[in-house]
Amino acid sequence: MSENYKEMWKNLGLDLDQHDALLKVLGKGYQDIYLAQKDRPEGMGYFDFVMSEVHGLRIKELMDEKVAGRKVIGSFCVFVPEEIVQVADATLVGLCTGADFAIEEVEKLLPRNTCSLIKSAFGFKLGKVCPYIESADMIVGENTCDGKKKSYEILKNLVSNLYVMDLPQVKSAEGRALLKAEYVRFKEAVEELTGITIDAERLKKGIEIVNNKRKAIYRLSSLRKVDPAPISGLDALLANQVFFYDNPARFTESANKICDELEKRIENGEGVFPKKTPRLLLSGCPMAVPNWKLPRITETSGAVIVGEESCVGERGTRNLTDDSGTTVDKLMEAIIDRYFQVDCAIFTPNPDRLDHIIEMAKTYKADGVIHYGLQFCQPYLMEAMPVEKALEAKNIPTLRIDTDYSMEDVGQLKTRVEAFVELLK
């Protein structure tokens, strides 16, 4: 980290010793997993810098924004509409849920058999190590899976600014009406927090900013369709993860810059792995920073990941919001239409996700699919079997992995992934 941020962290109420310990582990992990890769695009230097300053410079920027009157809103889910946050001169940040922390403390509040993602959110709060949670003026919890919605009843005792957003579970007219009511209520809550009235002009601008960010990451994903893949799955995942933290305009510019570089690599036939390396699609639960376990195992087992059917990936970023409306009502309808297409496993039934996985496997020319489910995640584990069946009916080999954030199963996972890659070869 280029500056000493201790005073800032102290003012945010972080536990400096615990925080130092976390940064040490993260720094070492990043070095071993990311910086050890070969032939990375030069443009990844920007993302390396963002990660090295994720608790430093980025937090300082947020603090400066707050002094200038902007608000920070934290979210755990891609259903929180960034367009609405952007237009109210507020900044949306994803809250880290990708590592175990303070597990003993967490298990005093949550059952042991809760998914790692939920436990992680609590661990970062209880361990006082997340400057994003501490700098948020509003934390949005969404009623998606049962684990999340029940855990928010407990989280609200730990934070003073939890805003709970209800979400539909069925893609029906009634489901859409619920989403609409909740987005209108959220818009009003954001207006109240920021003191800004959201008009059509602002909303259009917000849609444009977020659409540009989505177009850039989608462009990057599309470049992974070629063989040899011009960027590793680990690096592409990192770009998808930074999507949730960085300043949107800067992210868009940096992602587009990498795409320019990748296009040149493609022209020259250069890749990060040799041609004909088995290509895999990852599908399932979201992988938040610093959850890099399975991608790393996969890409050190002779395969390359060419796409992520995940909320930290194409499920979360595909589909743009139509910005042709001229009134707040029309633009809000467009936002609702866009988010109502997200095919999270909390929906029942959820056939769109199946179709999307098959379509992605074809478009990205994947030789196989790894379905990644977090232990105790009912929605994704329940969908894993139908997904496997549907893919195998299309002759797409599938490996189902259920895991958590611990490192205890790394050896066993590696053996299974290696055997799967051998089979594909």
Positions that interact with ligand SF4 (CB under 6 A): 77-79, 115, 117-118, 144-145, 147-148, 285-286, 311, 342, 344, 346, 374, 377, 379-380
Considering beta carbons, is residue 331 or 377 the nearer one to ligand SF4?
377
93, 245 Cβ separation under 8 angstroms: yes
Cβ of residue 310: shortest distance to ligand SF4, in angstroms? 8
Give me the least distance between CB of 83 and ligand SF4, in Å please: 16
Q: How far is the CB of 209 from ligand SF4 (least distance, A)?
A: 21
| Nearest approach, Cβ of residue 231 and ligand SF4 (Å) | 23
Query: Cβ 405 to ligand SF4, closest distance in Å?
Result: 11
> Alpha-carbon distance 130 to 98, whole Å?
12
Give the start-end residues of each E strand in 38-113: 71-75, 90-94
Phi/psi of residue 71, each to 5°? -110, 155
Residue 54 vs 312, nearer CB to ligand SF4: 312
Sign, Cα dihedral of 254, 260, 263, 265? negative
Residue whose C-alpha is closest to residue 91's, from 108, 112, 68, 71: 71
Nearer of residues 363 and 375 to ligand SF4, judged by Cβ: 375
Distance CA 86, CA 138 (A): 14
The set of residues, in sequence order, having a beta carbon less than 8 Å from that of 317 and lying 6+ positions away, is 214, 217, 218, 221, 240, 243
73 three-class SS: strand
Residue 377 exposure: Cα atoms within 13 Å on the Cβ side? 27
Q: Minimum CB separation from ligand SF4 for residue 218, in Å?
A: 17
Tokens standing for 44? 């990844």
C-beta of 30: minimal distance to ligand SF4 in Å?
23
| HEC per residue, 121-182 | HHHHHHCCCCHHHHHCCEEEEEECCHHHHHHHHHHCCCCCCEEEEECCCCCCHHHHHHHHHH
C-beta closer to ligand SF4: residue 374 or 384? 374
Beta strands in 257-328 (DSSP E): 279-284, 304-309
CB 323 within 8 A of CB 215: no
Comparing CB distances to ligand SF4, the nearer of 102 and 117 is: 117
Between 51 and 145, whose beta carbon lies closer to ligand SF4? 145
Distance of closest approach, residue 375 Cβ to ligand SF4, in angstroms: 9
- Minimum CB separation from ligand SF4 for residue 110, in Å? 11
**Angle at alpha carbon of residue 56, lines to 241 and 74, rounded to 5°:** 50
In the three-class reduction of DSSP (H, G, I as helix; E, B as strand; rest coil), residue 326 is classed as coil
CB closer to ligand SF4, 117 vs 331: 117
Q: Which is nearer to ligand SF4, 234 or 381 (CB)?
A: 381
Q: Which is nearer to ligand SF4, 77 or 136 (CB)?
A: 77
Chain center to CA of 357: 17
Q: Which is nearer to ligand SF4, 218 or 339 (CB)?
A: 339
Whether the Cβ atoms of residue 309 and residue 356 lie closer than 8 Å to each other: yes
- Nearest-approach distance from CB 145 to ligand SF4, in angstroms: 3
